[in-house]
């Protein structure tokens, strides 16, 4: 049995297959996922698991060099923005309109759906290198 923190087999496989500058997205329960993008559905019920629980779990195994967030998170969900920044100090952030973030899900290796129920709790993680 796997000893490290990401034990979901689908998610672990995606992370293991990522290279430098590949994208992985995590989002709230309502985020629409484009046809053709792999969806790893972890949602069990409202708020379980939370966006931040899933993000922290993924960060335990994935080296992230940059993140992409919706502009709207700044005004519509500043608490979540603060939590993201605290979880990834020093990581570059690029903001874009939510509509563009949704379109960019088509460029992700996978989308991880959480039980999160707060607006604009969506992120694209760009993988870095560990050397």
pTM of the predicted model over 0.85: yes
- Output the 3-class SS for the chain: CCCCCCCCHHHHHHHHCCCCCCEEEEECCCCCCCCCCCEEECCCECCECCHHHHHHHHHCCCCEEEEEEECCHHHHCHHHHHHHHHHCCCCEEEEECHHHHHHHHHHCCCEEECCCCCCCCCEEEEECCCC
At 35-74, the pLDDT tens digits run 999 999 999 999 999 999 999 999 999 999 999 999 999 9
Residue ranges for the binding site? 28, 98, 120-122
Residue ranges for the binding site for substrate? 28, 98, 120-122
Q: Which domains does the chain have, with CATH numbers?
A: 9-127 (3.40.1650.10)
pLDDT at 18 over 90: yes
Q: pLDDT band for position 125 (50/70/90)?
A: very high
The single residue of 20, 74, 82, 103 carrying the catalytic annotation is: 20
pLDDT at 2 over 80: no
At 62-73, the pLDDT tens digits run 999 999 999 999
pLDDT of residue 1: 74
The partner residues of 24 in beta bridges, in order of sequence, read 125
Select from 9, 3, 11 the least CA-distant residue to 112.
11
Q: pLDDT band for position 3 (50/70/90)?
A: confident
20 is catalytic: yes
pLDDT of residue 4: 86
Handedness of CA 124, 116, 41, 5 (dihedral sign): positive
Handedness of CA 48, 112, 9, 3 (dihedral sign): negative
pLDDT of residue 104: 98
At 80-117, the pLDDT tens digits run 999 999 999 999 999 999 999 999 999 999 999 999 99
């Amino acid at each position: 049995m796997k000893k490290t923190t990401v034990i979901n087999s689908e998610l672990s496989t995606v992370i293991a297959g990522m290279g430098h500058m590949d994208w992985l997205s995590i989002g709230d329960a309502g985020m629409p996922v484009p046809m053709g993008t792999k969806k790893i559905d972890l949602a069990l019920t409202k708020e379980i698991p939370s966006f931040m629980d899933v993000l922290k779990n993924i960060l335990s195994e994935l080296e992230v060099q940059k993140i992409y967030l919706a502009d709207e998170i700044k005004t519509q969900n500043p608490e979540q923005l603060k939590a993201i920044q605290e979880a990834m100090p020093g990581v570059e952030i690029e903001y874009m309109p939510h509509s563009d973030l949704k379109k960019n899900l088509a460029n992700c290796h996978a989308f991880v759906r959480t039980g999160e129920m707060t607006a604009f709790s969506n992120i694209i993680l760009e993988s870095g290198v560990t050397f």
